[in-house]
Structure 1
Amino acid sequence: MNWKTLEFEQLTPRELYLIMRARSAVFVVEQAHVCLDADGHDETALHLFAMQDICLPMPVLAYARLRPGDEEDPEVVIDKILTSPARRGDGTAELLIERALSAIAERWPGRLIRVTAPVGLRSFYEQFGFRKTEGPFLEHGVPFIGLSCSQRGSHAQSGNVRRLRSGLSIVKTYELL
């Protein structure tokens, strides 16, 4: 697995196409979320992804978009999180979140971090130091919650993630808005 963390301008046209294809395959086709995926946030975000052989039709194994926030809402947002069906339950989702938290700490030190997730994934995010801050509310007909963490809390939890990983069985990773 080859991991990359790139700004929008650093993505090759092929990488961007494969990321958009993976997001559509998971969110639109698999999860039936009818939405405009190209939502205007990609150009200001960091794109974290793992690839296998780029010549394969679906080489993106994991992906997350890291958005810096703004003056009105300064929290860093991790969203568009996905793992390919072939990599679910094998620790790839945990590696993705660990790498996202590390990239955020390097790029935006000291900032709060926010995700939204289906209620059933609450314990998955809590192992990284996230705590429920809002919800539940409906997104695409599924009950979601908002979760936040400080960077100090996320790093305190990261050592425990590796120990917990063998006992986890993540069935699906959903889009986090």
Structure 2
Amino acid sequence: MQTKPLLFKVKSYTNLSRDELYTMLQLRAEVFVVEQDCVYQDIDGKDDIALHVLGYKEKELVAYTRIFPPKTYFEYASIGRVVVRASERKHAYGYDLMKKSIEAVEHTYNTTTIKISAQTYLKSFYNNLGFKEVGEGYLEDGIPHIGMIKTS
């Protein structure tokens, strides 16, 4: 059985429909708050300055990131809130999502240098996409993270 490819949309906050915003926030809460059992403020006042990468399988949102231009979140452009619904991870959609997000950063912000704050257990996933660890690990919302940068 062949895996269905995701259909991606890249949208600014003002171009998100009410339903897109709702399902995006619902997916983030499903994974980051409920699945990871982490109580934190997901709605952080930064969605309005981000571009949102939404990945749909048929009509269901199953993958998402938000991206920022340089000097708004970090010194470099950045990708965050990387999420794939648990039931869809077996299809390796995380790689498709990140490749689309990297492409969106390069096209929109005209840069190939991207910084992320990665959950430590996902280092090898991000290494496979060209990201390298920088600095020491740290706790973010009680979860071990590491800074990582991709330069080309």
Q: What is the TM-score normalised by the length of structure 2?
A: 0.89
Cα–Cα, structure 1 residues 133 and 15, in superposed 2: closer, same or farther, change >3 Å? same
Whole-Å separation in 2 of the counterparts to 1:141 and 1:74: 24
Which residue of structure 2 lines up, in the alignment, with residue 95 of structure 1?
Answer: 96
Shift of 1:113: 0.6
Aligned CA RMSD, in angstroms, stands at 1.7
Structure 1 gap segments, 5+ residues each: 153-177
The structure richer in strand per residue is: 2
145 and 71 in structure 1: CA distance in 2 versus 1, 3 angstrom threshold: closer
Tell me whether 93-102 or 69-78 shows the greater mean CA deviation: 69-78
2:46 to 21, 41, 47: 41
| Equivalent-residue separation in structure 1 for 2:35 and 2:92 (angstroms) | 21
Equivalent residues in 2 for 1:102-141, closer than 5 Å = 102-141=103-142
Q: CA deviation at 1:138?
A: 1.7
Q: Secondary structure at the match of 1:88?
A: helix
Query: What is the TM-score when the length of structure 1 is the normalising length?
Result: 0.77
| Inter-partner Cα distance in structure 2 for 1:39 and 1:132 | 25
Query: Share of identical aligned residues, percent?
Result: 29
Q: SS of the residue aligned with 1:33?
A: coil
Matches within 5 A, 1:165-176: none
Are the aligned partners of 1:41 and 1:67 in contact in 2 as well (CA < 8 Å)? Answer: no
What is the SS of the residue equivalent to 1:37?
coil
Asked if structure 1 preserves the Cα contact closer than 8 Å seen for 2:78 and 2:114, the reply is: yes
5+ residue gaps, structure 2: 1-5
